[in-house]
Chain A
């Protein structure tokens, strides 16, 4: 992949777009146990508000720095936590690669998540940006880091399922 001009690195961009689609479908289909598979073992998954990021503060809503923490999250949602009955619809767009260094792709995407409650009412739950560090393993893109940068920094209700 390296050495290819970004403007023509269509294979990488296509693969990353496909990964984002699969990621959205995995969460929207409630196949949460498969969600950690999009990440490397030592990958970080972070949710942070733009307000905190711009202020140079940590302020992570979720801070996972390995896949074990992601599995713990899903297990807890399945066996321990009570949260709002709902379905999610991830809309991921503007997928782009901003740069690549040493095989690590600096990628971005916009997202919006529409939540629908048990009685069929839909609301925009969250909007923001994915700030991704992606590497290819055997031709398959994997997250080294996915930072969910929330525009919607005021969470309404609660945030249970990963964004």
Chain B
């Protein structure tokens, strides 16, 4: 399969990660992106630790001073905490002394934090406030006069929030969060989070595949009616309902909107218990489903009263964890009831979700085959690569836009149409 360009491996490694995009362009996605340990490490450096904002948590999870919750930014364990003054802080959960884990529980409230190894203690911002035997013991030992514990802290992240959703970044070069999110996503999050939220639970999910396969899947209109038969089998939605995809951040964010179909109201589901799929309009609009992918680490599913956000935690090229946070409106007991029923659709056991895990795991096992190097085909609806918006579901243009932006952020050279790559095979070393 003519998917790869013959390249000088050493030269390319230094500036493109050793990967040259197939000459056919963004309608091809090389499988190597999902299997290469080098690319996995490069993503941690360039995406998760790079000039991008990562979802850390919801403000309602840390309402009071000292409330904290733990998460990951790529491979890095991070703590989100509210300090004495009410400000949100985030820091790497790694002791400034030897590197041990400091915060050991997933969530809680604390006046400060203490590492169990040598009892170095920290304030809520992750600054060192106590060092045992700092001045020695019994007149001997201790740190010398040059040691200043105020110079030591667990590494902080910049923190910003929009509509109660908290993001963090390691980079000083990330855009202001508002600009990073863009107008369409800002507007949708503001509308959904206009009322108080309550977290209803968490769900951890390990998928034995590359994280990007699920991130891509979440904006893939094409697969939804083909793979997920639940709606069709029980007569729940019209297949021709209006939909829209709006991209931002070089195509890597995607706000996917599916509108309420007038016919859907009149439909009679074949479910014995229709409440599982009865999505009352919790918001005063005609939107049935919003799926919001905010690159690189999170994905909102906003449907009926069953809201969730998924945090992606890559572990290896072929393994990642998703941590779901489920939430709904706190000011409407009916929303909670509905949420319990509707949530049967989502998560690792969900009626319209379980297939995604199955597909990406089995796909991963196939593309990892060394003798079958190749690329996936993403050519539905042409080869356009820079749409800001698509107004129908019969397209993969939003996927191409994502891959183009991803390649740019990763520093991969863009494809060269008609270049030496045409018909090329990977060169023998």
State the CA gap A40–B368 with chains docked (Å).
47
State the CA gap A91–B358 with chains docked (Å).
25
Scan residues 32-61 of chain A and give those whose CB is less than 8 A from a CB of chain B.
47-49, 51-52, 55, 57-61
B68 to chain A minimum Cβ distance, whole angstroms, is 14
Scan residues 186-244 of chain B and give those whose CB is less than 8 A from a CB of chain A.
199-208, 227, 229-230, 232-234
Contact A52 B349 (CB under 8 A): no
Q: Does any Cβ of A come within 8 Å of B384's Cβ?
A: no
Q: Which residue of A lies closest to B107 (CB)?
A: A55
Q: Does any Cβ of A come within 8 Å of B351's Cβ?
A: yes
Checking B234, B341, B343, B357 against A158 with a beta-carbon cut-off of 8 angstroms, the contacting residue is B357
Q: Which A residues are in CB contact (< 8 Å) with B273?
A: 66, 68-69, 72
User: Interface 1/0s, chain A 51-89, versus B by CB < 8 A?
Assistant: 110010111111110101101100010011111100000
State the CA gap A71–B276 with chains docked (Å).
13
B330 to chain A minimum Cβ distance, whole angstroms, is 13
Q: Which residue of A lies closest to B232 (CB)?
A: A80
Checking A60, A69, A160 against B276 with a beta-carbon cut-off of 8 angstroms, the contacting residue is A69
Which of B201, B232, B233, B361 lies at the interface centre, i.e. has the most chain A CB atoms within 10 A of its CB? B201
Q: Does any Cβ of A come within 8 Å of B173's Cβ?
A: no
Q: Does any Cβ of A come within 8 Å of B348's Cβ?
A: yes
Q: Which A residues are in CB contact (< 8 Å) with B106?
A: 51
Binds B, one of A98-106, A107-115, A138-146, A148-156: A148-156
Q: Which A residues are in CB contact (< 8 Å) with B107?
A: 55
Contact A69 B272 (CB under 8 A): yes
Q: Which residue of B lies closest to A67 (CB)?
A: B272
State the CA gap A48–B343 with chains docked (Å).
12
Q: Which A residues are in CB contact (< 8 Å) with B234?
A: 72, 76, 80
Q: Does any Cβ of B come within 8 Å of A157's Cβ?
A: yes
A147 to chain B minimum Cβ distance, whole angstroms, is 14
Contact A80 B202 (CB under 8 A): no
A16 to chain B minimum Cβ distance, whole angstroms, is 26
Q: Does any Cβ of A come within 8 Å of B354's Cβ?
A: yes
State the CA gap A156–B205 with chains docked (Å).
6
State the CA gap A135–B226 with chains docked (Å).
43
Contact A72 B276 (CB under 8 A): yes
Q: Kindly state the interface size class of chain A when it binds its partner.
A: 20 to 34
Contact B344 A80 (CB under 8 A): no
Q: Is the interface of B mostly helix, strand, loop or mixed?
A: mixed
Q: Which residue of A lies closest to B323 (CB)?
A: A154
Scan residues 269-292 of chain B and give those whose CB is less than 8 A from a CB of chain A.
271-273, 276
Contact A155 B348 (CB under 8 A): yes
Q: Does any Cβ of B come within 8 Å of A22's Cβ?
A: no
Q: Which residue of B lies closest to A56 (CB)?
A: B201
State the CA gap A39–B232 with chains docked (Å).
28
Contact A155 B358 (CB under 8 A): no
Q: Does any Cβ of B come within 8 Å of A159's Cβ?
A: yes
Contact B202 A52 (CB under 8 A): yes
Contact A76 B348 (CB under 8 A): no
B319 to chain A minimum Cβ distance, whole angstroms, is 10
State the CA gap A125–B353 with chains docked (Å).
19
Q: Which B residues are in CB contact (< 8 Å) with A48?
A: 201
**Residues of A in contact with B (beta carbons under 8 Å apart):** 47-49, 51-52, 55, 57-64, 66, 68-69, 71-72, 76, 79-84, 153-160
A-B contact pairs, 22 of them (CB 8 A): A49-B203, A57-B201, A58-B336, A63-B343, A68-B272, A69-B273, A69-B276, A72-B273, A76-B234, A80-B230, A81-B351, A81-B354, A81-B355, A82-B229, A82-B358, A155-B348, A155-B349, A156-B206, A157-B207, A157-B348, A157-B357, A158-B357
Known: A58-B326, A156-B206, A158-B353. 14 other contacts (CB 8 A): A49-B201, A55-B107, A57-B201, A59-B203, A61-B203, A63-B340, A66-B273, A80-B234, A81-B229, A82-B229, A83-B354, A154-B206, A157-B361, A159-B349
